[in-house]
Every structure is written in C-alpha cells, then in structure tokens.
C-alpha cells in the first residue's frame, strides 16, 4: 500500500485556515506596508498577552532572537554560558559568534532536557549565564535553574523555540516557557508549533531596559531613526509573516491539544512495548510535543526501526545525530555520556496537529508489526 505520510503536514494546516490566511496576506499586499506594517505590532501585543509577558520583540528568525538576547546582555569576551550539548546548533553558534564560550553539560536521559544537577558543577568565576533549551516541547527544570542563577548572580536565557505554549508550574515558579528567565526566545520556522510561511522569531522579556535594548539592536542600533546608539543588526519579522502568525495564534491552544492527543495515542499504543521508551514528562511542565521522540536501546535498533519505517512510507528523524561538543565547529574535548548515547538512540516520529487518526494508526501498526516479527 503506497502510504506516504508527511513528517509535518503544513499543507493541511494552510488549507484549514486558508480563507483567513489568504485574506490577511492580500491585506498586506494591498497596503504595501511590507516592513513594520501594523500587523507586526498587533501580533507582538497579542502574543505578549497570550504568554502573559511584558515585552515581545519580533525578529527575523529564532537564531537572531538568541543573538539579540546575548547582544543585549553585552557580556565580556570569554564569558561562559552553560547550555546543553544535546540540542540544535543555534545557541552554540550564537555564543561563539559573540566571542563567548559555551560550557556544555549533559542531559537527563528520560526527558532529554539539561540535567539541572550538573549545572552547579559547571559554574566558574567566568560563568555569566545559563541557557536551557526547552527541547522537544517541554520546559526544563526552571525551579532549580532560577534558584542557582539567583545564588550565583547569573542571567537565564531560555531557548523556547520548540516549546511555545508549554506551561511550567512549580512551588516557586509559574508561567509559560520563555517568560521565566531574564530573556526567552522562540522561532516561527514553519514546522514549529506556531510557524509562519518562511523565517521568523521573537524575544520575550519582562525587563523594560532589556526590551528597549533588544528592540534597538534589532533595528540597526537605532533609538530614533538615523541615530545609531549601539552596534545593531537588521532583524525584522516582515509584515506578511506577522499577518499569517496573527491568524494562527488564536489556534495555538487547539494545535497544542491536537499534538497532545496524538502523543497520548502513541503512548497508549506502546504501553506494553519494551523495545523502546516513550518520551517522559518533566515533572512541572506541560508537554506541547514539537517532537515525539522515542529512546531505543541501541543504535542498531534505532537504525533498523528507521529503515523499516522508511520502507513503509513513514518518515522519521534523528534529532540530533551529533552532540554539539562533537561537532567540528564547536568541538570541545569533554565527555558527556548521556548526550553521546542519545544521539545514537533517539528517533522522532511524525507528529503535528493535522496527523490523521488513519495515518497515526498506520504508523503505530507498522511499529508494532516490526517488533512482532523481530
Ligand atoms: C531549539 C532551537 N533553537 C533555535 C532554533 C533556531 O530557529 P531558526 O531556525 O528560526 O533560526 C531552532 C530551530 O530549529 C531550534 O529548534
């Protein structure tokens, strides 16, 4: 049977919202206010209200959002930033670009999130910030991270690109991922939980002073037009993307619920399977499942399941195949055994709000059949 299942069904999402999106895009074209049109400010305000954060500064992509955050902090050259090695490259890239130094730490094997118990050991007199990544859709242990940061007087920058809408609630910390530290960032890359039709990103903060700096840096360092106060960059969310995001934002809650329902079906169907582990929850966070990532028992198991799925028309992805400390560009001679092991064992299955029940049943049955025949 010629099944071809998309990893993320962006076309189906467009078709669901087509009339509103088409109208919003045409409005932008009719106005010709392609840069800094009113839709940009509207979207920033609506997202700030949704996340209950004081400032949202939109920008060109999630990597720029991280760059803007670190540029605003203006840390001395060589300052150390504690961050997980099992992650996407953007944070390490920005840290090195700004002549800072990432101090990679290991992750928790069950949640894939930075292991909060290792953070304090990594602190030196040069440490200036902790940058957790809310990987795959859930918020890292911010209760502990914020407590350590306070004790050592460190900044906390949350990379929330994969967890927009995830909520954290512990005895002393509560709120949306990305709004709990000094600065949070996100990406609107099309496959993200809130994705635009190109590149986009945003920075979040409750700090008025940082917000002002970030906004200035994102606009060539200008406070007023043609008055360049600091060295900046050009990083803007264009009006077309803001208009599309403005249509999608009111649906974010229902997108999240659909992802959670799909994850629940996977979990239930794999309950009695002991060949792999399903994703485990971080105790105080909701999970918005940007990824549904299995943890296999060996590289051979992972690679053979991936190949079997592929033969049956089911895409799967390895997020991530190489830990950052082993990448040529960011190489550090350190040993982070869990991160290294996970790169050999993880496999992410298709998940998105538009994953049909029929397609999900086919994926589940194919996986169960693979193990029956093993
Ligand atoms: C965790 C994480 N951080 C940062 C980024 C960078 O976002 P962008 O691709 O919009 O630059 C991504 C994008 O994949 C990501 O997953």
DSSP 1-30: ------SS-HHHHHHHHHHHHHHHHHHHHH
- Nearest to 235, CA basis, from 36, 43, 92: 36
Q: How many Cβ atoms from other residues are within 10 Å of residue 323's Cβ? A: 23
pLDDT per residue over 79-138, tens digit each?
Answer: 999 999 999 999 999 999 999 999 999 999 999 999 999 999 999 999 999 999 999 999
Q: Return the CA Rg of the chain.
A: 21
For the residues 55-67, what does the mean pLDDT come to?
98
Give the distance (Å) from ligand 1 centre to CA of residue 89.
8
Calculate how far, in angstroms, residue 90's C-alpha sits from the geometric centre of ligand 1.
6
User: Residue 2 pLDDT > 60, yes or no?
Assistant: no
Is pLDDT at 1 greater than 70 in this prediction?
A: no
> CB-hemisphere CA count at 13 Å for 243?
23
pLDDT on residue 15: 97
Residue 277 has φ and ψ, to the nearest 5°, of -105, 140
Task: Report CA(62)–ligand 1 centroid distance (Å).
Answer: 5
Dihedral angle of Cα 280, 285, 291, 297, to the nearest 10 degrees: -20
Mean pLDDT value across residues 25-52: 98
pLDDT score, position 36: 95
Q: Band of the pLDDT at 372, cuts 50, 70, 90? A: confident
Q: Whose CA is nearest to atom 5 of ligand 1?
A: 62
State mean pLDDT over 271-292: 96
> Using one digit for the tens of pLDDT, what is the confidence trace for 185-206?
999 999 999 999 999 999 999 9
Q: Relative to the CA of 290, which ligand 1 atom is closest?
A: 16
Q: What is the mean pLDDT of the chain?
A: 97
Closest by CA position to 291, among listed 318, 252, 251:
318
Q: Where in the chain is the domain with CATH 3.40.640.10?
A: 10-105+112-250
Average pLDDT, integer, range 232-260: 98
Furthest-apart CA atoms within the chain: distance in Å: 69
Residues whose CB is less than 8 angstroms from the CB of residue 304 and which lie 6 or more positions away in sequence, other chains included? none
Higher pLDDT, 34 or 374: 34
**Residue found under tokens 């060295």:** 231
10-105+112-250 has which CATH code? Answer: 3.40.640.10
- Mean pLDDT computed over 246-253: 98
Which residue's alpha carbon is at the smallest distance from atom 15 of ligand 1?
161
Comma-separated ranges of CATH 3.90.1150.10 domains in the chain: 251-372
Which pLDDT value is given to residue 119? 98
C-alpha 8/C-alpha 25 separation (Å) is: 22
Does CATH number 3.65.10.10 belong to domain 251-372? no
Task: Please state the rounded mean pLDDT for residues 238-249.
Answer: 98
CA of 306 to the centre of ligand 1 (A): 24
Please compute the mean of the pLDDT values over residues 22-49 and round it to a whole number. 98
pLDDT of residue 374: 74
Mutate to test the pocket of ligand 1, among 66, 177, 189 (most ligand atoms within 8 A of CB): 189
Q: Note whether 117 and 146 are within 8 A (CB).
A: no
Residue 257's pLDDT band, with cuts at 50, 70 and 90, is very high
Nearest atom of ligand 1 to the alpha carbon of 133: 1
Q: Percentage of the chain with pLDDT > 70?
A: 99
CA distance 351 to 319: 14
Q: What is the tens place of the pLDDT at every residue in 201-235?
A: 999 999 999 999 999 999 999 989 999 999 999 99
Closest C-alpha to 81, from 228, 206, 164, 183: 183
Mean pLDDT of 230-252: 98
């Amino acid at each position: 049977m010629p099944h071809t299942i998309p990893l993320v069904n962006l076309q189906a999402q467009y078709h669901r919202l087509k009339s509103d999106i088409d109208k919003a895009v045409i409005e932008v074209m009719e106005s010709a206010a392609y840069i800094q049109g009113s839709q940009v400010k509207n979207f920033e305000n609506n997202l700030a209200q949704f996340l209950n954060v004081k400032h949202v500064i939109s920008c060109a992509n999630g990597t720029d959002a991280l760059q803007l955050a670190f540029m605003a902090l203006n840390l001395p050259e060589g300052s150390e930033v504690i961050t997980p090695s099992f992650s996407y490259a953007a944070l390490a890239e920005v840290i090195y670009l700004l002549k800072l130094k990432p101090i990679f730490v290991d992750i928790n094997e069950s949640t894939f999130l930075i292991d909060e118990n290792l953070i304090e050991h990594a602190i030196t007199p040069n440490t200036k910030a902790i940058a957790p990544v809310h990987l795959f859709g859930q918020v890292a242990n911010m209760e502990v991270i914020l407590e350590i940061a306070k004790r050592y007087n460190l900044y906390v920058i949350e990379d929330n690109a994969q967890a927009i809408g995830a909520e954290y609630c512990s005895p002393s910390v509560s709120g949306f991922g990305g709004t709990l530290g000094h600065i949070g960032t996100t990406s609107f890359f099309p496959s993200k939980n809130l994705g635009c039709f190109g590149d986009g990103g945003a920075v979040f903060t409750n700090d008025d002073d940082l917000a002002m700096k970030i906004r200035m840096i994102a606009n060539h360092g200008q406070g007023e037009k043609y008055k360049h106060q600091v060295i900046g960059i050009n990083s803007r969310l264009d009006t077309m993307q803001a208009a599309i995001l403005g249509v999608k934002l009111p649906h974010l809650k229902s997108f999240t619920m659909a992802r959670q329902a799909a994850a629940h079906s996977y979990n239930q169907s794999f309950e009695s399977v002991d060949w792999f582990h399903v994703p485990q929850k971080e105790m105080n966070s909701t999970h918005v499942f940007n990824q549904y990532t299995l943890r296999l028992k060996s590289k051979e198991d992972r690679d053979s399941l991936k190949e079997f799925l592929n033969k049956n028309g089911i895409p799967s992805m390895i997020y991530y195949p190489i830990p950052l400390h082993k990448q040529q560009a960011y190489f550090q001679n350190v040993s982070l055994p869990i991160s290294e092991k996970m790169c050999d064992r993880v496999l992410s299955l298709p998940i998105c709000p538009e994953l049909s029940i029929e397609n999900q049943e086919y994926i589940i049955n194919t996986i169960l059949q693979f193990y029956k025949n093993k």
